Structure 1
Amino acid sequence: MDIARSGLGPYVESWSPGAVEDDDVLSPAPVAALSALLDRPEPVAAVGDALPPLWHWLHFLQWPAQRELGEDGHPRHGHFLPPIPDRQRMFAGGRCDIIEPLRIGDPARRISSVGTVTTKQGKTGELLFVTVRYEYLQEGRTRLVEEQDIVYRSGRSDGRHPTGVDTSATPHSGAPWQLPLQPDPRLLFRFSALTANAHRIHYDAPYAQEQEGYPGLVVHGPLLVLSMLELVRLNAPDHPVRSLSYRLRSPAFAGERLLATGAPADHDAALQIATHRDQRHATAEVTFA
């Protein structure tokens, strides 16, 4: 672990959680549920088919006891949650190498471990960056390896969020791949349920506005990432994804008109999510096999 001498550093200098193994059968039910949420006419894959990239986020879910949740809906304690005071969590980005796609309906194993842990000084204070590594196996073979970058702060910050949500302004782009979206509270609630995400900023508008200072419900970062990857699945179905990386740059809010866009090349594609406020709420790079 690379820990700078800082206010947060001493809390995690001796924090070294061991690896954890979990097993799950990749049921087709979550795939059908997410397909419906995305308004697809039928499930995008069935038993025996390859799981679309990052749709494994619908599996290996953790359901802590209700008493173990904090006021914000996040678990108070967890094996990979750093022991810093008044902890606030943000999903910053990640990477995934797909050696072989996971197959729906087959048993799978996930090996989770902590990678790097660093502290950095941000515009609104000190931040702790934790990278968690996941290795997914089926039939005894490593199928894909994923890293997720999670950012933590101690206490709340004065976020620079817009004062309101404009539900009519439409982003525009000349990109060849385009997918318009307008997530509403129903969609965010359903996605929270699909991913076992109890964070109240996604379904409790008074809490999001009064306690965390947002103008409305926050669109899940993973939903933005999966929406970008839908561009690849819909426009390049014969191009298997070999690797991908993504970054979540700024929040988008329920009711806003979003536009996922993609610029494909011979062996890769650049993707992003825009609103009228920001052309790059989320970005991703995809490399084809």
Structure 2
Amino acid sequence: MIDLEGWTPAPHEAVQTLDAEPAAALAGLLDVPAPAADLPPLWQWLYFLDRPATAELGPDGHPAAGRFLPPIRDRRRMFAGGRFLVREPLRIGDTLTRRTELAGVEVKRGRTGELAFVTVRHTFLRDGDRIAVEEQDLVYRSGDPSFPTAEPSYLTPEVTAPWTLPMSADPVLLFRFSALTYNAHRIHYDQTYATQAEGHPGLVVHGPLLALLCLELPRREGHKVTELSFRARRPVYGDQPFVVAGSPEGELAVHAPGGVTAMTATFS
């Protein structure tokens, strides 16, 4: 039974200068020019990274404990989605304060058992002024994996949309993104662990990577995004072909093989 009553972690503040190197590294991964000034939305995920000691990691490579990690036995973590509101762009060279707080927690019962839905809010401040707010939705469960072990489809989805970006995340891309975001969760690079310990049929493509790819569509078309919302619906697995699709009307989605919609997003 998951009991999070009384779990009220205190807010936390961190200060960092947004150096150009992490953004240039992500641009290289995506095969796009590095941003010169304004940081594209969601690229803040390259900064304010937690770097726990190896001894502080759990068997899954994820931190065993942390201020905003719920105290759940045999905890398994899933990235569920989020929102981002930009009042003023985050700029390379800025020194920012990020204030992090618990915005919500709720325990629900699903078909696989109890789930803890946790929302963490990040507020970005420049010279004391609030310039952007991000919320991340994370889902935690306890116990054995719930994903099917059936072989996933590798047929390229057929998608018709004004904007499309065909993709496939091979192990090299997954490893590079894990390194850029200091994410040691083994489901993204350890095939044996992902399949045998967590029950996935292959390596798992990072949810944040899918969200970033969604935002690449309006960005590459010259649209300045100031508000967005995204929701992860199903996993995408390594080497699966998938298509990121969208339109100027503000609708975005990640289409995976077998008619699977892996992520949906809206922007304005």
TM-score by length of 1: 0.90
Which of 214, 233, 241 is the equivalent residue of 1:257? Answer: 241
1:173 aligns with 2:154: no
Residue 65 of structure 1, CA deviation: 0.2
Residue 78 of structure 1, CA deviation: 0.3
Return the letter of the residue paired with 1:175: A
Return the letter of the residue paired with 2:151: G
Question: Structure 1: 5+ residue runs without aligned partners?
Answer: 1-6
Alpha-carbon separation, structure 2, partners of 1:93 and 1:215: 22
What is the aligned partner in structure 1 of residue 229 from structure 2? 245
Residue 166 of structure 1, CA deviation: 4.0
Alpha-carbon separation, structure 2, partners of 1:24 and 1:158: 38
Q: Deviations over 1:182-209 (max 9, x none)?
A: 1100000000000010000000111111
Which of 13, 25, 50 is the equivalent residue of 1:21? Answer: 13
Return the letter of the residue paired with 1:59: Y
Alpha-carbon separation, structure 2, partners of 1:73 and 1:244: 30
Residue 140 of structure 1, CA deviation: 2.1
Off by >3 Å, runs of 4+ in structure 1: none
- The count of residues paired between Structure 1 and Structure 2 equals 268
Residue 157 of structure 1, CA deviation: 3.3
Alpha-carbon separation, structure 2, partners of 1:217 and 1:84: 24
| RMSD of equivalent CA atoms | 1.1
Name the CA shift for 1:38/1:65 in 2 (closer, same or farther; >3 Å). same
Q: Deviations over 1:242-271 (max 9, x none)?
A: 211000001001111010000222xxx100
What is the aligned partner in structure 2 of residue 164 from structure 1? 151
1:281 aligns with 2:262: yes
What is the aligned partner in structure 1 of residue 189 from structure 2? 203
Which of 198, 201, 214 is the equivalent residue of 1:228? Answer: 214
Q: 1:264 is paired with a residue of what secondary structure?
A: coil
Residue 212 of structure 1, CA deviation: 1.0
After TM superposition, the structure 1 = structure 2 runs for residues 64-75 of structure 1, keeping only pairs within 5 Å, are: 64-75=52-63
What is the aligned partner in structure 1 of residue 40 from structure 2? 52
Alpha-carbon separation, structure 1, partners of 2:116 and 2:164: 35
> Contact conserved, 2:219 with 2:225, CA < 8 A, in 1?
no
After TM superposition, the structure 1 = structure 2 runs for residues 181-192 of structure 1, keeping only pairs within 5 Å, are: 181-192=167-178
Which of 188, 204, 228 is the equivalent residue of 1:218? Answer: 204
> Contact conserved, 1:274 with 1:281, CA < 8 A, in 2?
yes
> Contact conserved, 2:84 with 2:227, CA < 8 A, in 1?
yes
Alpha-carbon separation, structure 1, partners of 2:46 and 2:146: 32
> Contact conserved, 1:57 with 1:195, CA < 8 A, in 2?
yes
After TM superposition, the structure 1 = structure 2 runs for residues 145-160 of structure 1, keeping only pairs within 5 Å, are: 145-160=133-148
Q: 2:23 is paired with a residue of what secondary structure?
A: helix
> Contact conserved, 1:51 with 1:101, CA < 8 A, in 2?
yes
Give the percent of matched residue pairs that are identical in Structure 1 and Structure 2: 50
Q: Deviations over 1:16-63 (max 9, x none)?
A: 1110000111011111101111122x31x12xx111011000000010
Q: 1:241 is paired with a residue of what secondary structure?
A: coil
> Contact conserved, 1:124 with 1:157, CA < 8 A, in 2?
no
Which of 71, 79, 103 is the equivalent residue of 1:91? Answer: 79
Residue 158 of structure 1, CA deviation: 2.9
What is the aligned partner in structure 2 of residue 34 from structure 1? 26
Alpha-carbon separation, structure 1, partners of 2:69 and 2:163: 38
Q: Deviations over 1:208-249 (max 9, x none)?
A: 1111111111000000000010001012x1x32121100000
TM-score by length of 2: 0.97
Residue 164 of structure 1, CA deviation: 2.1
> Contact conserved, 1:273 with 1:282, CA < 8 A, in 2?
yes
> Contact conserved, 1:219 with 1:254, CA < 8 A, in 2?
yes
